[in-house]
Structure 1
Amino acid sequence: MKKKTVIGILSGTTIALLLLFSTVLANNSQLVEQQGAETKNIDHKVNSPSDHHAENSRNTSTHSNQNPQLNNVSNENTLVPKIPVLMYHHFDKNKNIQNGIIGDPTVFEEQMKLLQENGYTTLTTQDIIDVKNGKSTMPAKPIMITLDDGYESNYNYVFPVLQKYNMKATIFIITDYIENPQNHPSEYPKMTWEQMKEMSDSGLVLFQAHTDILHTKYASLTRPITIDGKVETPQQYEERVHNDVTKNKQLLEDRLGKPVNAFSYPNGLYSSSSEDIIKQAGYEMTLTTEPGLLDLQTNDPLYLVKRINIHGQASADSILEKIAEPEANE
C-alpha cells in the first residue's frame, strides 16, 4: 500500500514538472517571437525612405549653416562682404563749370537708372548700421549713394531722380552753412531746413553729419592748432572738436527728428585722435574719401569707410566700371 502511494506521488510530481516545463518553453517562444517582431519594426524604421530623406535634410541644413554662401538668404554679412559707396557733391547743367565734384544732373539720372537696371538696391547709412546690428537683412546687391556738403542742387536735381526711381541717398551736412548762410556767401547755394525736411520726410534721403563749422578749416579736425599765437593743448583740441561734431549732430536731430550716427570727414582727412573723439560723441560710422569698398569683414567695418568718387565729367556707363575697380585712377 505504501509502495503504491509513493509511486502515485512520484507520478503526480513528474506530471506537474512536465507541465511547468512546457509552460516555460511556451512563454520563451512567445518572447522570442515578440523580440523578433520588434527587431523587424526597428529595421523597417531605419531603412524607411522618409527617414533617409529626413536625415539627408538634417545633414544639408548643417552644412548650409556652416557656409552662408550656400544659403539663398541675404541676411548674412558674409554673403555680401563688400559694398560700393558712391560719393557725389554738386550738380549743374552748365557744362563749362563741370569738374571733379560738379556733375551733370542728366548723367546722374542715367547712372541711377543704370544701377536700378542692374539690380542694385540703395541703402542709407542707417540701413547699413541696422544690418550690422542684426536689425535688418542685406539685399542681394547693395549700394550706397552719398553726397557731401548739402548743395541746393541736391534738392533741385538729385531728389526728383530719387523719387522717380524710388532710390535712397545719404547727404552729409555742414550745419552752420544751413543755420547761418549769410556767413558763407557762395555761388553754390546750400539747401534750407525746409527743403531738407521735405526730403527727409520722404524716407528717401537721410541727412548725416559733416561738421558744424570746421569744414572751412578741415585740417583743424585732425590735430591741435594755433589760436591767438598759442598751440592748443590736447584737452583743448579734444573739447573743440567734440563741441563741433556734437553740435552738428544735435542740430540735425533737432531739426529733422531722426538719429544722426554717421560722420563724413571733410576732404577725407582724419586722425586716430579725431576717430576717438567722434566715436565718443556717439557716432557709429565714419566715412573717408579713400577709394575702395565698404568691407564688412574687417574688425570695425563701419569706421573709416572707403568710397568711390564719381567724377563730375564721368559718363553714365563708367559707373559700373568704377564699381568693378574702385581703386583705379580716375
Structure 2
Amino acid sequence: MLNWLIRYLANRWSSSKRITKLNILTYHRVSEFHDPKNPNTITLALFEQQVKWLIKHFTVLPLPEALILQENNKLPPRAVCLTIDDGYQDSYDLIYKVLQKNNISATFFISTQGILEGGLWDAEIYSAIFNAPTDVGSIYCDGMLFDLSSLEDRIKSRYRLTEYAKYLSLKDRTKLLTELKGQTSFNPIEHNFLTEKQIKVMHCSGMTIAAHTHSHPILMKENNETAFAEIKLSKELLEQIIEEPVEYFAYPNGRIGQDYNEEHVDMVKKIGFKAALSTDWGSLTNLKLERFKIKRFTPWDKKEIFFALRLALNYRK
C-alpha cells in the first residue's frame, strides 16, 4: 500500500501531458559513523538507505541523460538525479562505492583547489579549531570572540566561524584564516580531498565530473574578473584530469540573488558549460528557461515514507 501511494503521488506530481519534471538531489559530505565534530553530516548507513529508497520509489538517472530526455519531452515519471558537491575524500571512499554497489551514476561538482592543497578553506577552519592546544580557551577573529573551552564550544565556534567566513571575499577570507592560524598553532591539513587518480577512476566508471569553481568563493563577493577566472580555472583543471570536456557547473552555495546573479550566469554560458545548477529548492520544469539556474533539493528525513513523500512533493515546486 505504501509503495503504491508513493508511486501514485510521484507520478501525478511529476508528469503531465506537456512535460515531466526532474528532481535533482544534492549531497555534500558523508561520514562512516556519526561524528560528534560533524553533527550535520549524513552517516553512511543513512545515505545507503536513501539510495535504496530512491531506487525503490523513483527512476534514478545520470544527470546528462536526464537533461537530454527532458529536453526532448521523453523523461519518465518520477525521475531523479544525484549530485555531490565539493569533492572531499568521502566522495570516493564512501559515496562512490555505494553508487557502484547499486549500479547508479551521480554528478560530482569539484572545487579544484582541494585537489592541489588537500582541502578547501573550511577544512583549514576545522583543523585550526579542533587541533588547537587545550590551553587555548578562546580566539579572536575579525573582532569576534570564539569560545574553545570545551568540545561543544569548539563545535559551535567552528560552525559559526565557517558561516561567517563563507561570505567573505577570497582576500578577506585569507586574512581571516591567517589570523586564525596564528592563534591556534595550526598545522597543515592532511589531504582529505579527491585525488587526480580517483577522479579518473570515477569518470571512467560512468560518474559525471563537473566544476564548482577553483577555491569555492561566493561569486557575488568577488569582482567579475576574479569570478570568471574561478569558474574557468576549475573547468580547465578538471578537463586536464579526465581528458574530456567538463560540461556542467554548480554555483558555490548556489542561491540566486544572494550567491550568484545574472552576470555569473552569462559567464558560465560564455565559458562553455551546457548547464548550471543552484541550491534553490525545487524541481526542473523547463530546461529551456532554467538551463543555467537548475534547482535542487534533498529530503532530510530518516524514515522511508517521509523521505519519499517529501521528495515526491518537491515535484510541485
Relative to the length of structure 2, the TM-score reads 0.65
Name the residue aligned to 1:175. Answer: 112
Q: Is the 8 A contact 1:77 1:138 kept in 2?
A: no
Q: Equivalents in 2 of 1:242, 1:267: separation in Å?
A: 16
Q: What is the match of residue 91 of structure 1?
A: 30
- CA gap 1:98/1:321 in 2 versus in 1, 3 angstroms: farther
Structure 1 position 98, deviation (Å): 4.8
- Aligned pair partner of 1:249 in 226, 235, 240: 235
**Bigger radius of gyration among the two:** 1
Structure number with higher relative contact order (C-alpha < 8 Å, ≥ 6 residues apart): 2
Does structure 2 conserve the Cα–Cα contact (< 8 Å) formed by 1:111 and 1:317? Answer: no
Matched, 1:128 2:66: yes
Separation (CA, whole Å) in 1 of partners of 2:16 and 2:229: 34
> Which consecutive unaligned segments of at least 5 residues does structure 2 have?
1-14, 128-190
Task: Measure the CA separation in 2 of the matches of 1:264 and 1:195.
Answer: 20
Superposition pairs of residues 1-330 of structure 1, within 5 angstroms: 80-95=19-34, 96-100=36-40, 102-124=41-63, 126-131=64-69, 134=72, 137-181=74-118, 186=124, 189-203=192-206, 205-213=207-215, 215=216, 217-218=217-218, 221-222=219-220, 225=222, 237-268=223-254, 269-296=259-286, 299-311=288-300, 314-326=302-314
CA contact under 8 A between 2:88 and 2:119: conserved in structure 1?
no
User: In proportion to residue count, which structure has more helix?
Assistant: 1
Measure the CA separation in 1 of the matches of 2:245 and 2:17: 27
Q: State the distance in 2 between where 1:165 and 1:271 align.
A: 37
Q: CA deviation at 1:318?
A: 3.2
CA RMSD in angstroms, aligned pairs only: 2.8
Q: Is the 8 A contact 1:289 1:309 kept in 2?
A: no
CA contact (8 A) 1:121 1:139 kept: no
Q: Is the 8 A contact 2:110 2:213 kept in 1?
A: yes
| Cα distance change of structure 1 residues 182 and 209 upon mapping to structure 2, 3 Å threshold | closer
Residues 20 and 70, structure 2, Cα contact 8 Å, conserved in 1: no
Structure 2 SS opposite 1:263: strand
Q: Distance in 2 between matches of 1:77 and 1:209?
A: 33
Which consecutive unaligned segments of at least 5 residues does structure 1 have?
1-75, 226-236
Return the offset for 1:264. Answer: 0.7
Give the secondary structure class of the aligned counterpart of 1:110: helix
SS in 2 for 1:109: helix
Amino acid at match of 1:242: F
Residue 182 and residue 153 in structure 1: after superposition, are their counterparts in 2 closer, same or farther (change >3 A)? closer
Q: Secondary structure at the match of 1:294?
A: coil
Aligned residues: 231
When normalised by structure 1's length, the TM-score is 0.63
Sequence identity percentage: 26
Per the TM alignment, residue 122 of structure 1 is displaced from its structure 2 partner at its CA by: 2.1
> How far off its partner does 1:137 sit?
4.8
Query: 1:170-229, CA deviations, whole angstroms, 9 ceiling, x for partnerless residues?
Result: 1100011112327855558211111111111111x111010012x1x31xx125x5xxxx
Q: How far, CA to CA, are the matches of 2:119 and 2:27 in structure 1?
A: 25
Matched-pair contact (CA < 8 Å) for 2:88–2:192: yes
Is the alpha carbon distance of 1:121 and 1:77 closer, same or farther for their aligned partners in structure 2, counting shifts above 3 Å? farther
Q: Could you tell me how far 1:273 is from its partner in structure 2?
A: 1.2
